[in-house]
C-alpha cells in the first residue's frame, strides 16, 4: 500500500548537501543512504526482500516487539529518539535471553500524518547507533502514514553460536537461579534505556552451560514463572535477602508505600537476565564473569511446584503479578 507522505517535509538535517526529504520513497532513500550493511547482508534495503547470510550450522533466532504511542509510551515522557532506541533494545534483549548473536533488523512504522517524516528520521536517529554497536544490519521495513499515533514494530533476526540457544524450558530441580543486575523501579527512566545483555549472555553461556534463561521484561516473579511453566512445572524458592534491589526501587517505594522488594519482584522492564545453572558451575561463572557484571544467586529450582519466597526464615507463597496486556483491568 502507498502511504500518503506527499505533504511531509522534514526540517531536520537540512544543510547544503542535505535536500529536504519528502514522501515515502524519499524517506526510504534517506534511511538507505545512512545504512551500510556488512558482509552478512547479501542484499539490503531496496528490493522486495532482503537476502541474508547466516553462519553454516547456525539456527536462526527471530523475534519482534511493537511499541504503541499512548499505550507503551507518550511523547510527554519520551523523545522519538528514545523510542527508536528502546524499540531495538527490547528485541536485542530477547536475542540476549537465548544467548544468540543479533544480526538483522526490519522496522515497520505507522506514522502520524503531519509529522511523519520528521518522526521517522528521529526514531531512526535513536535506533541506528544501537544497531551499529551490536553489529545489526538494518535490512528492510515498511512505512505507512495514518491518522493514528506512532506505532513502531522492530523484527530482529539473530543466530546461535556453537553452544546453542538457551531456552526457557531447561530448568532442573537443584539448579541455582541467577540474575545479572539490580531490579525494580525502572519506571523512573531506566525503562527507556535498557542495556541489552547480549555480550554478557554469550560470555556466560561459554563459561558454563546455562540451563534456562529469560530476560526480565514483565517482572522477576512473573518471568521466573514462565521458566517454570516451560520447564515442566518444577517450583522455585527465592531468598528475599539475596534479591538485588535497585536504588530506583527504594525511591519509588518511598513514594508509593510498596516495599522495595515488591518493586524488585514485580516491576517490569529491568531487561536483566534471569537464568538457571547447575550448582557446581556457580563458582566458575562468578570467577570468570565479565568484570562489569554482578551476578546474584537469588534462589533454587526445586521439585515442589509453585513459586515461594524465603523471608526472615519463613517460606511463603509468591504470586506472579507481572504486567499482562490482555488482563481485563488493563484493556
Q: What size, in residues, is the chain?
A: 331
Instruction: Identify whether the C-beta of residue 50 lies closer than 8 Å to the C-beta of residue 41.
Output: yes
* Grid cell in block for residue 145: 502514514
Contact between 142 and ligand ADP by CB under 6 A: the answer reads: yes
CA torsion, points 121, 156, 92, 5, in degrees to nearest 10? 20
Instruction: Identify whether the C-beta of residue 294 lies closer than 8 Å to the C-beta of residue 181.
Output: yes
DSSP 3-state percent helix, strand, coil across the chain (nearest 5): 35, 25, 40
Q: Which does 185 bind (CB under 5 to 8 A by kind): ligand ADP, Mg ion, none?
A: none
Q: Which does 13 bind (CB under 5 to 8 A by kind): Mg ion, ligand ADP, none?
A: none
Binding string, residues 70-109; x marks residues near ligand ADP by CB under 6 A: -------------------------------------x-x
Contact between 47 and ligand ADP by CB under 6 A: the answer reads: yes
Q: Which does 83 bind (CB under 5 to 8 A by kind): Mg ion, ligand ADP, none?
A: none
Contact between 141 and ligand ADP by CB under 6 A: the answer reads: yes
DSSP structural state of residue 187: G
Render 191-235 in DSSP notation, one character per residue. GGS----HHHHHHHHHHS---EEEE-SS-HHHHHHHHHHHTTS-E
Q: Which does 47 bind (CB under 5 to 8 A by kind): Mg ion, ligand ADP, none?
A: ligand ADP
Contact between 45 and ligand ADP by CB under 6 A: the answer reads: yes
The pairing of strands 314-317 and 306-311 is: antiparallel
Binding string, residues 129-168; x marks residues near Mg ion by CB under 5 A: -------------x--------------------------
Contact between 228 and ligand ADP by CB under 6 A: the answer reads: no
* Smallest gap from residue 141 Cβ to Mg ion (A): 8
Q: Which is nearer to ligand ADP, 117 or 183 (CB)?
A: 117
Contact between 33 and ligand ADP by CB under 6 A: the answer reads: no
Q: How many residues bind Mg ion (CB under 5 A)?
A: 1
Instruction: Identify whether the C-beta of residue 266 lies closer than 8 Å to the C-beta of residue 221.
Output: yes
Interface residues with ligand ADP (CB under 6 A) are 28, 31, 45-48, 107, 109, 138, 140-143
Amino acid at each position: 500500500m502507498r502511504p500518503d507522505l506527499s505533504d511531509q517535509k522534514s526540517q531536520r538535517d537540512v544543510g547544503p548537501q542535505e535536500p529536504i526529504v519528502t514522501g515515502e520513497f524519499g524517506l526510504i532513500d534517506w534511511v538507505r543512504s545512512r545504512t551500510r550493511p556488512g558482509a552478512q547482508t547479501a542484499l539490503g534495503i531496496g528490493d522486495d526482500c532482503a537476502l541474508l547470510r547466516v553462519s553454516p550450522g547456525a539456527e536462526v533466532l527471530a523475534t519482534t516487539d511493537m511499541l504503541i504511542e499512548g499505550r507503551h509510551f507518550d511523547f510527554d515522557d519520551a523523545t522519538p529518539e528514545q523510542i527508536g532506541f528502546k524499540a531495538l533494545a527490547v528485541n536485542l534483549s530477547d536475542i540476549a535471553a537465548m544467548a544468540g548473536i543479533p544480526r538483522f533488523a526490519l522496522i515497520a512504522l505507522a506514522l502520524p500524518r503531519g509529522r511523519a517524516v520528521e518522526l521517522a528520521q528521529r526514531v531512526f536517529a535513536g535506533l541506528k547507533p544501537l544497531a551499529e554497536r551490536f553489529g545489526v544490519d538494518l535490512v528492510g521495513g515498511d512505512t505507512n502514514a495514518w491518522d493514528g499515533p506512532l506505532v513502531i514494530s522492530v523484527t530482529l533476526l539473530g543466530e546461535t553460536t556453537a553452544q546453542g540457544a538457551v531456552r526457557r524450558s531447561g530448568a532442573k530441580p537443584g539448579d541455582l537461579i541467577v540474575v545479572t543486575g539490580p531490579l525494580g523501579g525502572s519506571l523512573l527512566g531506566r525503562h527507556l534505556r535498557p542495556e541489552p545483555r547480549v555480550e554478557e549472555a554469550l560470555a556466560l553461556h561459554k563459561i558454563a552451560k546455562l540451563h534456562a534463561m529469560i530476560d526480565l521484561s514483565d517482572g522477576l516473579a512473573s518471568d521466573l514463572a514462565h521458566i517454570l511453566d516451560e520447564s515442566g512445572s518444577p517450583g522455585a524458592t527465592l531468598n528475599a535477602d539475596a534479591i538485588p534491589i535497585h536504588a530506583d526501587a527504594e525511591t519509588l517505594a518511598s513514594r508509593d508505600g510498596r516495599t522495595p522488594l515488591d518493586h524488585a519482584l514485580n516491576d517490569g522492564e529491568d531487561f536483566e537476565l534471569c537464568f538457571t545453572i547447575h550448582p557446581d558451575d556457580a563458582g566458575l561463572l562468578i570467577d570468570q564473569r565479565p568484570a562489569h557484571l554482578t551476578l546474584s544467586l537469588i534462589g533454587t529450582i526445586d521439585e515442589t511446584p509453585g513459586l515461594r519466597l524465603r523471608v526472615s526464615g519463613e517460606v511463603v507463597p509468591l504470586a506472579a503479578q507481572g504486567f499482562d496486556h490482555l488482563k481485563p483491568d488493563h484493556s
